[in-house]
Every structure is written in C-alpha cells, then in structure tokens.
Chain A
Amino acid sequence: MSTQQRPKVDNSKMITRLLVTVVAMFAFGFALVPLYEKFCEITGFNGRTSNTAAAVSEGSLIDTSRLVTVEFHTRVNRGLPWQFESEVRRMQVHPGETKTVNFTAINRTGRNMTGQALPSVAPGEAAPYLLKTECFCFQNQPLAAGDTAVMPMQFYLDPDIPNHIRTLTLSYMMYDMTEAAAQGRVVVDTSE
C-alpha cells in the first residue's frame, strides 16, 4: 500500500447503535398499539368509548337549559344471523339526566350462540362525555337458539359536554363470539 494510510476507524460502535435503533423501532411499532388504545380512550379519537360502567349521575347536576339528541344505531357483523335493534332510534336528553334504552337481540339460528356488542360514538369528540352506568355491552350475550333477549342500557351525558355538540350517535356492532366464548377467551375486560 502507499504511504498515505487511511485512518483505521472502528465501525462496530456505529453498527451497534444502528442495530439498536432498528430493534427499538420494531418495538416502537408494537408499543404504538397500546399507546393508540390509551390515546383513543382519553380523547375519544376514532369514536372509542369506554366499555366499563361509569359512576351514577348526581341528579342535581342536570343541565335543563339545553337538549342533546342521542341517536342509536345497531348492526350485526357479517355472518351473524341475529336481529339486533334498539327500541328507539333517537331521544333528546338534558346533560346529566339518566335515561334507559332497551335493545332487543334475537338469535334466529337453531344453535346456541354468544354475541358481543362493541360501541362507537360519532363524533369522536363526544365519546368521553357519554357515560354508561349499566349496559349489556359490558358482558358477552349468550343467546340460546331462537331466543329473544331484551337488554337495557342506562346512560347519561356528562354536563361538561361542549355546547356545540347537539347530536351524537351511539353505534353498536354485534360480533359473533361463540367460538371465543367456548374457548374461554375474555374479549371485553369488565374487571374495572
């Protein structure tokens, strides 16, 4: 080689750092899953609403000066031959006032099944203000062949709900949980 030597540089430190970054970014991708869930729960981003019971409304805080329209929307997931409807399509409530709505589910098949309703609120901004004190959606809904279940849902709106929200939609999608329930998998955490 010639007289002008290239200074020997140790590459291993740099390689280690870069590899650690790669592993960290892979882990970060997975860390985004719980982060996203928490973020949605806190902000109501993406219409996520809590699936656990809230404290009962203190009746004294009813804001009678305004009315908010709450719409109910029900759907069954593909392949679930159930009928699933709410008894009313919409109602007007004062923030703070507790209301109960009955939902009806009919298992139209000839076998015992288990369903699970998952809620979503639109607009997402309203999600943290919709508080459920009692709901069928907190548990699985086992339904024998051909049976009908009338399932109550009790809720109130947090009086802090922003003034510009005049209408909100609570949508339930009923999923087929028969297999998961048979395997003893808990899908909705009701421990809180």
Chain B
Amino acid sequence: MSTVVDTHLDHDDHHDHKPTGIKRWLFTTNHKDIGTLYLLFSFLMFFVGGTMALVIRAELFQPGMQIVDPHFFNQMTTMHGLIMVFGAVMPAFTGLANWMIPMMIGAPDMALPRMNNWSFWILPFAFIILMSSMLMPGGGPAFGWTFYAPLSTTYSTDSTALFVFAIHIMGISSIMGAINVIVTIMNMRAPGMTYMRMPLFVWTWFITAFLLIAVMPVLAGVVTMVLTDKYFATSFFDAAGGGDPVLFQHLFWFFGHPEVYIMILPSFGIVSAIIPAFARKPLFGYASMVYATAAIAGLSFLVWAHHMFTTGMPVFASLFFMYMTMLIAVPTGVKVFNWVSTMWRGAMTFEPPMLFALAFVILFTIGGFSGIMLALTPVDYQYHDTYFVVAHFHYVLVSGAVFSIMAAAYYWLPKWSGYMPNEGLAKLHFWCSVISVNILFFPMHFVGLAGMPRRIPDYALQFADINAVVSVGAFLFGFSQLIFLAVVLKCMAKQGDKAPAKPWEGAEGLEWEVPSPAPYHTFDTPPTIEEPVR
C-alpha cells in the first residue's frame, strides 16, 4: 500500500500547496481539515453544554433556590439539551464521518467537498445566534429542548425567533452533511469495496444519513409552524384557532425518535471497529450487525408516541407503540450479543479505546434496560417526566454516545495527529469518567422512581442526599474531561510518542494502510480490495 502514497508524493505535487493560516481553515475543501473543524467545534460545544449542566447541578446540590433564579434554570436545561444534541454529539459524528469514511472506503475525499465546507461553516453561526438569544430581554429559550407548544408559542419570549432560525441552520447543515455521506458511500468506494465489505462505521453512518434526510426536514417544518403560530397568527398548535397542541408532540417526536438513533447508530459502528481490534478477532456476525442497524432505523419511525403515553391515547395506540418499542430491543440485543461474542476467547488487551468501548457496551446496555422499563405503558405513567427518564437518556447518550466518541478519539488520534495519546493520562481519564458518570447518573434512577420531576429547580427535602451525591458526581465528571482535553492538546502539540501507520496490533481497515499522521491527500489512486475489510 505504501506505493499508493509514493505515487501521490511524486505526481501530485500541486496538492501540497494548501493555503496557510486562517484561510486554510475557512476555505478548505479537504475532508480531513473539515473533519478536524467539526471535531474541535463539537469539543468546544461539549464544554459549553457541560458548563450549563454544572450550573444545573450546582443549583440542585441543595433543596431551595440558591444560585440561579428559576427562569435562568429553565434556560440552562433548554440550552444544555440543544447544545449537547445539535452542537456536541451530532457534529462530533459528522467530524468522524468526514475524517474516516473516505479513508475507510478508499476514496480521495468526500464527494461534494465545497458543500462540505459550507455545511461546517454555517454551524458556528447557528450556535452564535442560539447562544446570543440568551442576552435578549426576557432571556433565551426556556421551554426545554423539546420546545412543546404552547410553551414555545403562547408563553415564550421573542428569543424564540432566534431559536427557530438557529435550528433551521443546524438542520440545513446536518442535511448537507448527510447528502455528502450518502453520495460519497454510493459513488466513491474503491474497486472491490462492495457494500457488504464496508467497515461497520461506514454502514452505520450510511443508515444514519438516511435517517437525517428523512427527519431533519420534519424538524424544520415543526419549528416553522412554531414560528408562524407565534408571529403570523396561524393555529397549528392553538386549540382556540382549531389547532391541537398534542399535534406538536406527534410531529416533534416523529423527528425526535429517529433523532436519538441518529445519535447512537454511529456509536455502534465505532464500537464494532474497536472491539475486534483489541480482542484480535474478526467481528462476530458482520451481516447481522448490518441488518440489525437497518432494523433499528426502520423501527425508529414507528415508536414516536412512546414519549406521549400520558397524553391520553387510546389503549390500542398505546399498546401498538409499546410493542413496537420493545421490539427494538431485539436488534439491539443482537448487537450486544455480537460484541460479547467477538470478545469471547479473544486475546484481549485494554488500551484506552478498548476501555471506553467496553464501558460503552455495559453502560449503554443499562440505558437500554431502563428504556424497556419506560416502554411499558402502565409503568411509564409513574416514570414520565421524572429523573428516571433523565437517568435513562443520559446513560445512552453520555456513557453511550459520548463514550463512543471518546473511544473513537483515542483510537484514531494517532492517525489524525501522528502522535500516540498519552496512555497514563488516557487511562486516568477513563477511570475518572467511568466512576463519576455512574455517581452522576445511577442515583437519578432512584430519585426518579421516588417521584422527583425533571426540569424543576427545586425539590422535596427527602431527595436532598441523593441530589448532593449526583451533583458531586457531575462536578467530578465535568472536571475529568479536562484530562481528555489535555491528552488531545498534547497530541495536537506533537508531544508524546510518534505513532506508526498501524498503532493497534489487531486493527483492520484501509485507514491503517496510510502513514500516521494521514497525509493531506490519501487514496488519490484507489486501492483494490480483495479481502473483506472489517
């Protein structure tokens, strides 16, 4: 494979004339540059959203109101959700897709490089608009990230207009990213890279991109309806004008449930790359992984109303959505089974990427179990809108999606930067994170079952001890991420051991056949794939 790289050095000398300084980043159409931008942006947003979470937890450390007023508290819960979903997790996955998909399928770049530049660079503007709305009179959005009508229509401040436009821009960015991923995968695979030879990260992103294209336009429609209801006297969600506020929830969750799979399917791909590498065995059940991913994506369109059991649905509808939701446990179970089977009798080692991948499998499964509990209509009447729900989705999103992104960062940082992440610091980061994340989220199950409602800045005295523990966990988890920042900065500052082309012994895939750091241009000449690359 080294011949490929030599060819590019000899013949493509014009490629190395990239602009320097700020212009390189503003005008770049290189998938690696854009991937880096996405990842750094999402890292920044992760700290911004995390700081907001710490404001929430500081207020909840004791019962009563101490630090912030309730309206600001509501803004914090809203902005924390929006920033983490649209600013941290989704751009991180898009960044990983930009960096890895072309290299994994043997393509020289993404199919639509100029659109790629645009889809990243509109994102900072969306978040500037969103966050600056907090400076408006009456404050920023305070209706929860789910912006239920009439909270976002009748009862919201004028910052709602900025919120709507910010969501529109984020949606356009995601849709452009998804189109790029689909066209790249369909049209730019190297000869011999058939669909069923693609690495699972590529497969999961391929399916995720279709989900994005199907539901982001629906979100755009919902926010548009909120905007016209608020400012242009329409009555989509206003019963007085013949509309229906429950319709908002149907439309929102028609987007919202596929959205949660958008935030977890690429994780499945990452973990399916890392576990075989460190178990030194091929992935167990490759084809079943692909079909399970597709099944989860398909089912995600038929379960949205499980977020709405308490709106007074007919029993038949409740049962339908309950059974459909429980059905999702089957393909998800197939995946967990396959990961465990991959490790079975493998020669396992526990480098930082593997540690995070293992924590992902265990903690994501805990989140899956609480998900099945929430899927049961009768018991959901007790759990609905309590901290049990908060515990559930933080287990799947923090110790699920975010852990998988960290695993991916440790796994591919040598390829991106050319330097090995400091193993001691990385392991310290892992142990601090995995312990504190459980101190943070596990006790939430209990206060939730005991009846503590979510999104409320105060609580009954009997919840005080558990909330204090949760807040301690939150601050430990938050500050543990500074270790991660240090590891990444050390790699970026070219400190540490130089990474070989393939730093992980058992790793498979085309990305390990190019040098570390990956040259600015890779696979200008397509490689030919004969053996399945998994």
Report how far A187 CA is from B222 CA in the complex, Å: 22
Residue of A19, A22, A43, A48 most packed against chain B (CB within 10 A): A22
Residues of A within 8 A of B524 (CB): 1-2
Report how far A121 CA is from B218 CA in the complex, Å: 29
Question: Does A77 sit at the interface, judged by CB under 8 A?
Answer: yes
CB distance B254 to A77 under 8 Å? no
Report how far A122 CA is from B315 CA in the complex, Å: 12
Contact of B314 among A19, A37, A124 (CB under 8 A): A124
Q: Which residues in chain A, 5-37, are within 8 Å of chain B measured between CB atoms?
A: 6, 9, 11, 14-15, 18-19, 21-23, 25-26, 28-30, 32-33, 36-37
Question: Does A40 sit at the interface, judged by CB under 8 A?
Answer: yes
Contact pattern, B 298-319, Cβ under 8 Å of A = 1, otherwise 0: 0000000000000111100100
B-side interface residues, number (CB < 8 Å): 43
Given A15-B112, A19-B179, verify A26-B240 contact (CB < 8 Å).
Answer: no
CB distance A9 to B240 under 8 Å? no
Residues of B within 8 A of A29 (CB): 217-218, 220-222, 251, 254
Contact of A14 among B12, B183, B254 (CB under 8 A): B183
Contact pattern, A 119-136, Cβ under 8 Å of B = 1, otherwise 0: 000111100000000000
Question: Does B242 sit at the interface, judged by CB under 8 A?
Answer: yes
Residues of A within 8 A of B239 (CB): 118, 173, 175
Question: Does A188 sit at the interface, judged by CB under 8 A?
Answer: yes
CB distance B525 to A4 under 8 Å? yes
Residue of B11, B240, B526 most packed against chain A (CB within 10 A): B240
CB distance A22 to B317 under 8 Å? no
Contact pattern, B 308-349, Cβ under 8 Å of A = 1, otherwise 0: 000111100100000000000000000000000000000000
CB distance A33 to B241 under 8 Å? no
Question: Does B482 sit at the interface, judged by CB under 8 A?
Answer: no
Given A4-B525, A29-B217, A29-B218, verify A187-B244 contact (CB < 8 Å).
Answer: no
Minimal beta-carbon separation of B414 from chain A (angstroms): 27
CB distance A77 to B240 under 8 Å? yes
Residues of B within 8 A of A122 (CB): 312
Residues of B within 8 A of A173 (CB): 239
Given A1-B11, A11-B112, A29-B220, verify A180-B241 contact (CB < 8 Å).
Answer: yes
Residues of B within 8 A of A2 (CB): 7, 11, 524-525
Report how far A47 CA is from B244 CA in the complex, Å: 11
A-side interface residues, number (CB < 8 Å): 43
Q: Which residues in chain B, 423-460, are within 8 Å of chain A measured between CB atoms?
A: none
Contact of B182 among A6, A18, A176, A188 (CB under 8 A): A18
Minimal beta-carbon separation of A73 from chain B (angstroms): 14
Residues of A within 8 A of B244 (CB): 36-37, 40, 46, 48
Minimal beta-carbon separation of B109 from chain A (angstroms): 11
Question: Does A141 sit at the interface, judged by CB under 8 A?
Answer: no
Report how far A19 CA is from B182 CA in the complex, Å: 12
CB distance B526 to A4 under 8 Å? yes
Given A18-B213, A21-B213, verify A124-B179 contact (CB < 8 Å).
Answer: no
Minimal beta-carbon separation of A86 from chain B (angstroms): 19
Report how far A15 CA is from B217 CA in the complex, Å: 16
Please name 15 further chain A to chain B contacts, defined as beta carbons within 8 Å, in addition to the given A6-B108, A15-B179, A18-B182, sorted by A numbering: A14-B186, A22-B175, A22-B217, A25-B213, A25-B215, A29-B217, A29-B221, A32-B218, A36-B247, A43-B314, A46-B312, A46-B313, A48-B244, A118-B240, A124-B313
Q: What are 25 inter-chain pairs, A to B, with CB distance below 8 A?
A: A1-B11, A2-B11, A6-B108, A6-B188, A11-B112, A14-B183, A15-B179, A18-B182, A18-B183, A22-B179, A22-B217, A26-B217, A28-B217, A29-B222, A32-B254, A33-B225, A36-B247, A37-B244, A45-B313, A45-B314, A45-B317, A46-B311, A46-B312, A180-B240, A187-B242
| Chain A residues in the interface with B (C-beta under 8 A) | 1-2, 4, 6, 9, 11, 14-15, 18-19, 21-23, 25-26, 28-30, 32-33, 36-37, 40, 43, 45-48, 77, 116, 118, 122-125, 173, 175-177, 180, 187-189
Which 10 pairs show the lowest CB-CB distances between chains A and B?
Answer: A29-B221, A175-B240, A26-B217, A25-B217, A29-B218, A9-B187, A2-B525, A18-B179, A2-B7, A14-B183
